[in-house]
Structure 1
Amino acid sequence: MAMAIIDDITVGYDDEGTGDALVLVHGHPFDRSMWRPQVARFSRAGWRVIAPDLRGYGESTVVPGKTTLDVFARDIAGLLDRLGVERFVLGGLSMGGQIVLECHRLFAHRLRGLVLADTSAPADGDEQRAWRVSTAERLVAEGMGPYAEEVLYKMVSPGAPPEVAAHVLGMMRGTDPEGAAAALRGRAERPDYVAMLAGVAVPALVVVGADDEFTPVAEARLMSDAIPEAALVVVEGAAHMPNLERPADFDEALAAFLKSL
């Protein structure tokens, strides 16, 4: 565990291993501990694995209000500047995957490869935007507990190992409601990334849980079909978090992708 001051916030992060950099961006409403299996495996396999807590999550500073994806992306760039990392493979899950796409929009020249896990490229429609805003208000009013219990078995499948379900539930309950709400408000305003996909000029891996209700396989296929020569891996027996539910399958796909680089 390490901490860094980036502009006006403090960022908690893990930085393990040596070699080329692999940066992993967590989803909502989680923290960097969702990447523990991958940090452990790939830091032992010759990669320098960096996993930050996004602002508003984990050990990073909570900034109430609205946090748009470009702010998250610039926080990541600032951290990597501080760590002396110029080029890197960048992966993210769910909201983290959308932050990966935003990073590509802002500084594609720094990216060696993209890993897009259980995420979606289109902008929200009116109904989805309204849902994000109303959910943000709900989290601030109620706290994270009711929402966490409501969505747990969409984040992971009902058959997930109990320790995995407990980890996911603990991350959600432990997230600051103001930080989660700020991210939801900002995410409702994200741009549409679909037109950008055809211009991705680095290797890309798209991964999705076969039973993901939040970002179904069709969303993953849209990205893999649009990105030139992207690989698509569907992880059976997993919902929205295959890296935790089926880490062996997820890691096998990621290892093959990294080896191809």
Structure 2
Amino acid sequence: MSDLPLVLLHAYPLDARMWNSVRAPLAERTRLITPDQRGLGRSPLPSDLAEPDLDHAARDVVALLDRLDLDKVVLGGCSMGGYVTFAVLRLAPERVGGLVLIDTKAEADTDAARKNRLAVARRAETEGIHGWLADSMLPNLLGETTRSRRPELVEHVRGLIEQQPPAGVAWAQRAMAARRDATDVLRATDVPAVVVVGEEDTVTPPQAACDIADILPRGELVVLPEAGHLTPLEAPEGVVDAVFRVLG
């Protein structure tokens, strides 16, 4: 067993069930913790919410570590989960003893991406998410190989998306739109780190992962073939092998 527990933060707009395909082998190696992030899955959206900001989600993670009496963990996440990981590194770097960054990027949104996020947030609040959110996201979330060969996985991801609360979807989009560039915080994070990306990821492409691995003092890049933006679902064995490199 690894000395450090492993905390994995899920992607948007999913919940902790996205880790189910990697859960058993990782749990054999270490204590595995996979929370639902605020407003998604079974995690409520606080009623006294301030302006959406991933710093709030980072405080949720640190509060969870405190409740579990965990001084230090290997921390990681996929996509939005990576963005929250960066926020934790700003807030409490001493709590992080290793990094697992999956299909994510260090840069803040472009103006166009930010505008699109805010439009999605407004539509989720006014119309709900059924009938359009999954259809608009699946071509980007899953690689071409997955979409052409694995219709059952496409429908599984569709189901996960359609079960998310619209208010949580809107909050997450606004919080991601407001996030800062993480280059400096990553450059200062001298812990074992693995950076995983699907070869067919068009949302945070392999070059973005390569950039993160280059920035990190101890970063190692793993590119998984025939997978897109959701490698823990599309290529679980490759993700498990990559995580093992950090767990030791």
Asked whether the two chains share a fold, i.e. TM above 0.5, the reply is yes
Amino acid of the residue matched to residue 6 of structure 2? L
The match for 2:22 is 38
Does 1:58 find its partner at 2:41? Answer: yes
Does 1:191 find its partner at 2:177? Answer: no
Partners in 2 of 1:77 and 1:221 — Cα distance?
Answer: 28
Provide the secondary structure at the position in 2 that maps to 1:44.
helix
Provide the secondary structure at the position in 2 that maps to 1:113.
strand
Q: Which structure 1 segments of 5+ residues have no match?
A: 1-16
The match for 2:241 is 252
Deviation track 1:128-182 (CA, whole Å, cap 9, x = no partner) reads 2111111111222232231112221321124323332222111110111111101
The match for 1:165 is 154
Q: Please identify which structure carries the higher strand content.
A: 1
Provide the secondary structure at the position in 2 that maps to 1:52.
coil
Amino acid of the residue matched to residue 27 of structure 2? S
Q: How far did 1:19 drift?
A: 5.7
Partners in 1 of 2:46 and 2:69 — Cα distance?
Answer: 26
Q: Relative contact order (alpha carbons < 8 A, sep ≥ 6): 1 or 2 greater? A: 2
Partners in 1 of 2:246 and 2:62 — Cα distance?
Answer: 23
Provide the secondary structure at the position in 2 that maps to 1:159.
helix
Provide the identity percentage: 38
What RMSD, in angstroms, separates the aligned Cα atoms of the two structures?
A: 1.7
Does 1:205 find its partner at 2:205? Answer: no
Counterparts of 1:102-181 in structure 2, within 5 Å, are 102-145=87-130, 146-160=132-146, 161-181=150-170
- 1:73 corresponds, among 41, 48, 58, to 58
- Structure 1 range deviating more: 49-58 or 35-44: 35-44
The match for 1:240 is 229
Task: Confirm or deny: 8 A CA contact 1:22 1:49 kept in the other structure.
Answer: yes
Q: Structure 1 runs of 4+ off > 6 angstroms?
A: none
Task: Confirm or deny: 8 A CA contact 1:90 1:113 kept in the other structure.
Answer: yes
Task: Confirm or deny: 8 A CA contact 2:14 2:40 kept in the other structure.
Answer: yes
Does 1:25 find its partner at 2:9? Answer: yes
The match for 1:5 is none
The match for 1:101 is 86
Partners in 1 of 2:187 and 2:65 — Cα distance?
Answer: 26
- Structure 1 range deviating more: 60-69 or 178-187: 60-69
Amino acid of the residue matched to residue 128 of structure 2? G
Q: How many residues align?
A: 242
TM-score by length of 1: 0.88
- Structure 1 range deviating more: 142-151 or 216-225: 142-151
Task: Confirm or deny: 8 A CA contact 2:191 2:218 kept in the other structure.
Answer: no
- 1:85 corresponds, among 70, 95, 98, to 70
The match for 1:182 is 171
Partners in 1 of 2:152 and 2:70 — Cα distance?
Answer: 34
TM-score by length of 2: 0.92
Amino acid of the residue matched to residue 5 of structure 2? A
Q: Which structure 2 segments of 5+ residues have no match?
A: none
Task: Confirm or deny: 8 A CA contact 1:18 1:43 kept in the other structure.
Answer: no
Q: Please identify which structure carries the higher helix content.
A: 2
The match for 1:9 is none
Deviation track 1:194-213 (CA, whole Å, cap 9, x = no partner) reads 12222111111111001111
